[in-house]
Structure 1
Amino acid sequence: MYFEGLLIGLITFLIIGLFHPIVVKMEYYYGTKSWWIFLILGLITLGISVMIRSTLISAILGVFSFSSFWTIKEIFDQEKRVEKGWFPRNPKRTYPFDKKDNLK
Structure 2
Amino acid sequence: MDWLVSCHLGGVVIGICTFLIIGLFHPVVVKAEYHWGTRCWWVFLVLGLMGMAGSIIIQNLLVSSLLGVFSFSSFWTIKELFEQRQRVLKGWFPMNPKRKHDYETNQ
Tell me the TM-score normalised to structure 1 length. Answer: 0.92
Provide the residue aligned with 2:44 in structure 1. 38
Residue ranges of structure 2 left out of the alignment (5+ in a row): 1-6
User: Does residue 16 of the first structure (1) align with residue 33 of the second (2)?
Assistant: no
Q: CA deviation at 1:99?
A: 2.1
Q: CA deviation at 1:100?
A: 5.8
Residue ranges of structure 1 left out of the alignment (5+ in a row): none
The partner residue of 2:87 within 73, 81, 84 is 81
Q: CA deviation at 1:70?
A: 0.1
Provide the residue aligned with 1:92 in structure 2. 98
What amino acid sits opposite 2:57 in the alignment? Answer: M
Question: Distance between the aligned counterparts of 1:100 and 1:51, measured in 2?
Answer: 41
Tell me the TM-score normalised to structure 2 length. Answer: 0.90
What amino acid sits opposite 1:42 in the alignment? Answer: G
What amino acid sits opposite 2:105 in the alignment? Answer: K
Residue by residue over 1:18-65, the C-alpha shift from the partner in whole angstroms, topping out at 9 and shown as x without a partner, is 000000000000000000000000000100110111000000000000
Work out the number of aligned pairs and report it.
100
The partner residue of 1:65 within 49, 66, 71 is 71
Structure 1 stretches (4+) deviating beyond 3 angstroms? Answer: none
What amino acid sits opposite 1:55 in the alignment? Answer: L
The partner residue of 1:55 within 61, 79, 83 is 61
